[in-house]
Amino acid sequence: MPGVPEERAADPDRVFALQEEIDQLKEAVASHAVVDQAIGMVIALGRVGPDEGWAVLKDVSQHTNIRLRNVADLILIWGRSGDIPEEIRLALEEALERYGPTQIPGAPPQ
C-alpha cells in the first residue's frame, strides 16, 4: 500500500479490527433497511404518518420486549406470508389505536 508503513499494513490485529468494523457497519445498514421497510408497512396499513409509524414500531417492541429489528422482521414476514405471532399482532393493533387516525380519511364520520 502506498504511503502506509509496512508493519502497520501487515498488523493482523488492525486488519481484524477493521474487518469487525466493516461487518458491524454492514449489519447496521441491513438493519436500518429492515426497520425502514417495516415502518413503510405500518404507514400504509395503519394510515399513519412516518413519525407515527416509527412510534408504533417502537411501541410494539417495548410492549413485547422484543428487539425493534426483530419486530420489524416479523412485520415484514407478515406482509409476505400473512403470518404474524399473536403477541405482535395484538401489540400492533393496540399501538395503532393509540397512534393511528380515528377514521379513514374521506370516510363518513362514525
Question: Residue 38 pLDDT > 80, yes or no?
Answer: yes
Non-local CB neighbours of 109 within 8 Å, separated by 6+ positions: 103
Q: Which residue has the cell 474487518?
A: 19
The whole-angstrom separation of Cα 45 and Cα 48 is 8
Question: Residue 93 pLDDT > 60, yes or no?
Answer: yes
**How much is the mean pLDDT over the chain?**
84
> Exposure of 57 by Cβ count < 10 A (0-12 exposed, 13-18 middle, 19+ buried)?
buried
The whole-angstrom separation of Cα 43 and Cα 39 is 6
Q: Is the separation of the CB atoms in 33 and 76 below 8 Å?
A: no
Q: Give the residue-averaged pLDDT of 72-100.
A: 93
